[in-house]
Structure 1
Amino acid sequence: MGDREAEHTLPRTELEEIASKISDLNKWREIFSFRGLEISNSTHQPGRGSAGDGPPGDGDPTGPQPPLLPAAIPKPLLVPPGTGGQPISLEMAMRLRKLLFGNVSHIFSCEWAQAYFRFCEPYSDLAYALEAEKGGTRTILMAVQAHIIKYLLFVRNTEYTHLERLRRTSRQEQGEALAAALADTLWAAGGGGRATISLLAPALHLMPSGAYKPDNFTERIQLFEFSEKAAAQEFIFDHINCFTGEGSHGVILFLYSLLFSRTLERVQEDLDSTATPLLNVSFGNITCTQAVISLLLTGQASPRQLDSGQEPAHGGEVWQQRGPVGYLRWDRAQVERQVCHGLRTPRLPVWLCSLSGRHGVLFGTDSRLLSDWKTERVFHLYFYNGQREQTKTAHLTIDTHSHRWEEDPCEDPSSLGKRRPPVEMAIRTKWAGATVSWNGTDPFF
């Protein structure tokens, strides 16, 4: 009996060594298993087209299969130790919280904390598209969506044309397009000379004090500074899973990156030293203000930049520069409000649309549309609103010379917004009196 007990008794030093290894294992498991990102023991069979970059069906499921290979370890959602960067300080976290909410005790809702950049299936009608739940994060997702479409249609080189360029988007190209879209937006916020990228580190950098309420991710922020746009874009692509992985807090990380790229001091100046926060909080819902939309589109967090005829703060000029992405707005309660000319007429035919408070993207595939007046007589636009109910890109035909709605002389033009979809009314803020055909699709939004 004593011999058997001796066989199963380990020296104390060996037990301590095993306990130490278990502790190390748990530490790394926590890092690589953040919010469900675990190292899988499953196997992957190449050639099936399920997770690769090739089109579905490239493999031959009935033919001889190659040997099973271990599954690739997914990219972590947390930036590994030793990557560099600057940890956020308590002072920075408090100033950030005040800018967003007006106080340091408010935190993001579960809806915001769970939001990340999630694409539809590659090589599908919506391969270019981000999924967006109903709620406040949709504004940011659709603004980034506009930049993604700009990149896929007018920046990257492919052999395909028109909508086929979007439908042929692979998973690899989805990541490239998102990295380009985020980098473009951050670079504009940095004034064309800098960008700051916020990622999550495994460990907390600060200990909350006073009224500051921790949320378990702001306290982990690591800031990475870049003075070259290409380097920032490459860094984002190398860490793309930090924005696209479930549990990554990807949308919040991008919003933080946007504010730090602009710098918190300049954002406060953009707001004209008012106490108005960047986010609206009402009955538990958190939505973006016009200042956030302005920052996403113009690089400045001044809502006056969006409005035609409004004088911005500090004696600046109303936003008249034609950026690559535009903005159209329609709200029945504020029909008189017009978006400034520089945003209604961007360099490329891609617009973020605010439609009675909800957001989508309107775009064309002809880069000449806004530079050659002859193309604006009859032309085609496409619309995507980010909702799961939309399974295909809506195709609209715009006729700026056939005003069928004017045929009834008794009709009150002011009543049009009550019976026409907001997207049509937003289009008419750019092309007054245009008729819109949905080409067989039931009008929505």
Structure 2
Amino acid sequence: MGDREEAEHTVPRTELEEIARKISDLNKWREIFSFHGLEIRNTTHQGLRKLLFGNVFHVFTCEWAKAYFRFREPYSDLAYALEAEKGGTRAILMAVQAHIIKYLLFVRNTEYTHLERLCRVSRQEQGEALAAALADTLWAAGGGGRAVICLVAAAVHVAPRGDYKADNFTERIQLFEFCEKAAAQEFIFDHINCFKGEGSHGVILFLYSLLFSRSLERVQEDLDCTATPLLKFSFGNITCTQAVLSLLLTGRASPHERGPVGYLRWGRAQAERQACPRLRTPRLPVWLCSVAGRHGVLFGTDGLLLSDWKTERVFHLYFYNGQREQTKTAHLTIDTHSHPWEEDRSGEPSSPGKRRPSVEMAIRTKWAGATVSWNGTDPFF
């Protein structure tokens, strides 16, 4: 009889414990985040749309709406790597990739060394790396004092008015403000599928989070109060401007800041060749690369590479372009003191017969005249 009574009371007690746990979790997050000052109004949506597109009636394309943070297979040569389709979202994905590499190589505590730190990564560690990269970027945008995380709710919070064109997504966003970086990172990890799940609008959510972390007003100040939108339409595609890339890399929408990761650029047009010196010289050897309008990540595994000129004589870099066709990280050897590349310096490297792989040209914007060996890999990009 006693056993039966005990069994009858076991289920309710378990349910109560589960309810208590959930209440405790809710209380924990109530203490960490606040909605104060982040109410979503029509003017907020309009300001966001104008900052991005320059008007209130443009909306994101299907390519952008479908984009999210998707990793390659864990415990593989590219376990650290995000997949990035061709198109305008690739710049954001590869900028976040640069921060993921920074975290895995130079922040995370692990027994592995060099490239092993990148390939010996489990699925859970992929989520942890993404949460760390997103939180780090948002915290920098918030000036080291706050991060705002944007999630999407089931219900529409604001009914659009006037010329504003609804997209059935932006009208459902909710904002969570954090005053501690660790708390923001934990919150993102707890909601990681909101960024890495198919159909999550993960890239747009992150871009919104980035702008709200910086604040729409401060982004406009970074732009020197110009009316230039952050995104531009080009042949039916939506692409990122330099201001967006700077915000992703340094926390400010200004091209003259220095950050933990850098930026190298090379284009066939003269005006597109080089990023500013501060962006080319980050604190750690990780660079977002824009080469001929396509984006990838160049990185080294030696954290002291940029702090001791002697290490920049002959050194190794690695390159990942985000494409599914790449199955292994490309290994490049850079030699800055041996120059068998004998070309007429007064000539144009992009002229017929003198073209070099764009990645090599981007590398030379940082190390002029360097020779680049692909170590058996056919040059690409």
Q: TM-score, normalised by structure 2?
A: 0.87
Tell me which structure has the larger Cα radius of gyration: 1
Match of 1:205 among 147, 157, 169: 157
Partner in structure 1 of residue 200 of structure 2: 248
Partner in structure 2 of residue 353 of structure 1: 289
Match of 2:304 among 348, 368, 371: 368
How far, CA to CA, are the matches of 1:242 and 1:189 in structure 2?
A: 20
- Residue 241 of structure 1 deviates from its aligned partner by 0.5
Q: Is the 8 A contact 1:400 1:431 kept in 2?
A: yes
Partner in structure 2 of residue 415 of structure 1: 349
* 1:123 and 2:75 are equivalent in the alignment: yes
- SS at 1:414 equivalent: coil
Partner in structure 1 of residue 5 of structure 2: none
- Residue 88 of structure 1 deviates from its aligned partner by 2.2
Match of 2:360 among 412, 424, 443: 424
Q: Which is bigger in relative contact order (C-alpha 8 A, separation at least 6)?
A: 2
Residues 1:392 and 1:131: Cα distance change in structure 2 (over 3 Å): same
Match of 1:344 among 280, 285, 290: 280
Structure 1 segments of 4 or more deviating over 6 A?
A: none
Aligned-residue RMSD, C-alpha: 1.7
Partner in structure 1 of residue 173 of structure 2: 221
- SS at 2:348 equivalent: helix
- SS at 1:105 equivalent: coil
Q: Is the 8 A contact 2:262 2:280 kept in 1?
A: yes
Partner in structure 1 of residue 113 of structure 2: 161
* 1:442 and 2:370 are equivalent in the alignment: no
Match of 1:99 among 51, 57, 66: 51
- Residue 281 of structure 1 deviates from its aligned partner by 1.1
How far, CA to CA, are the matches of 1:105 and 1:335 in structure 2?
A: 31
- Residue 91 of structure 1 deviates from its aligned partner by 1.2
Partner in structure 2 of residue 185 of structure 1: 137
Which one-letter code corresponds to 1:346 in the other structure?
Answer: P
Partner in structure 1 of residue 332 of structure 2: 396
Partner in structure 2 of residue 151 of structure 1: 103
Q: Is the 8 A contact 1:352 1:362 kept in 2?
A: yes
Query: Is there any run of 5+ residues in structure 1 with no aligned partner, and where?
Result: 1-82, 306-318
Aligned length: 346
Q: Is the 8 A contact 2:34 2:177 kept in 1?
A: no
How far, CA to CA, are the matches of 1:413 and 1:441 in structure 2?
A: 28
Partner in structure 2 of residue 43 of structure 1: none
Which one-letter code corresponds to 1:200 in the other structure?
Answer: V
How far, CA to CA, are the matches of 1:198 and 1:415 in structure 2?
A: 45
- SS at 2:287 equivalent: strand
Q: TM-score, normalised by structure 1?
A: 0.75
Q: Is the 8 A contact 2:71 2:82 kept in 1?
A: yes
Query: Is there any run of 5+ residues in structure 2 with no aligned partner, and where?
Result: 1-32
- Residue 368 of structure 1 deviates from its aligned partner by 1.3
Which one-letter code corresponds to 1:262 in the other structure?
Answer: R
Q: Deviations over 1:376-422 (max 9, x none)?
A: 1111100001011111100000111110112x6x6755326751111
How far, CA to CA, are the matches of 1:92 and 1:130 in structure 2?
A: 31
Match of 1:262 among 210, 214, 220: 214
Q: Deviations over 1:42-61 (max 9, x none)?
A: xxxxxxxxxxxxxxxxxxxx
> Which structure 2 residues correspond to residues 315-334 of structure 1 after superposition, within 5 A?
319=257, 321=258, 323-334=259-270
How far, CA to CA, are the matches of 1:335 and 1:403 in structure 2?
A: 26
Q: Is the 8 A contact 1:131 1:388 kept in 2?
A: yes
Q: Is the 8 A contact 1:205 1:220 kept in 2?
A: yes
- Residue 182 of structure 1 deviates from its aligned partner by 0.5
* 1:377 and 2:313 are equivalent in the alignment: yes
* 1:89 and 2:25 are equivalent in the alignment: no
Partner in structure 1 of residue 226 of structure 2: 274
How far, CA to CA, are the matches of 2:372 and 2:182 in structure 1?
A: 40
Which one-letter code corresponds to 2:58 in the other structure?
Answer: H
- Residue 84 of structure 1 deviates from its aligned partner by 7.0
Residues 1:110 and 1:372: Cα distance change in structure 2 (over 3 Å): same
How far, CA to CA, are the matches of 2:232 and 2:125 in structure 1?
A: 34
Q: Deviations over 1:411-445 (max 9, x none)?
A: 75532675111110111111111000001111000
Q: Deviations over 1:247-273 (max 9, x none)?
A: 000000000000000101111111222
- SS at 1:231 equivalent: helix
Match of 2:236 among 284, 301, 305: 284
Q: Is the 8 A contact 1:87 1:221 kept in 2?
A: no
> Which structure 2 residues correspond to residues 54-65 of structure 1 after superposition, within 5 A?
none
Residues 1:107 and 1:336: Cα distance change in structure 2 (over 3 Å): closer
How far, CA to CA, are the matches of 1:336 and 1:276 in structure 2?
A: 18
How far, CA to CA, are the matches of 1:120 and 1:421 in structure 2?
A: 26
Partner in structure 2 of residue 141 of structure 1: 93
Q: Is the 8 A contact 2:34 2:178 kept in 1?
A: no
Q: Is the 8 A contact 1:88 1:220 kept in 2?
A: no
Residues 1:425 and 1:337: Cα distance change in structure 2 (over 3 Å): closer
How far, CA to CA, are the matches of 1:96 and 1:412 in structure 2?
A: 46
- Residue 282 of structure 1 deviates from its aligned partner by 2.6
How far, CA to CA, are the matches of 1:151 and 1:124 in structure 2?
A: 18
Q: Deviations over 1:104-150 (max 9, x none)?
A: 11100000000000000000110000000000000000000000000
- Residue 362 of structure 1 deviates from its aligned partner by 0.1
Partner in structure 1 of residue 13 of structure 2: none
- SS at 1:267 equivalent: helix
- Residue 290 of structure 1 deviates from its aligned partner by 0.7
Task: Return 95-104 or 84-93, whichever deviates more.
Answer: 84-93
- Residue 229 of structure 1 deviates from its aligned partner by 0.8
Which one-letter code corresponds to 1:414 in the other structure?
Answer: E
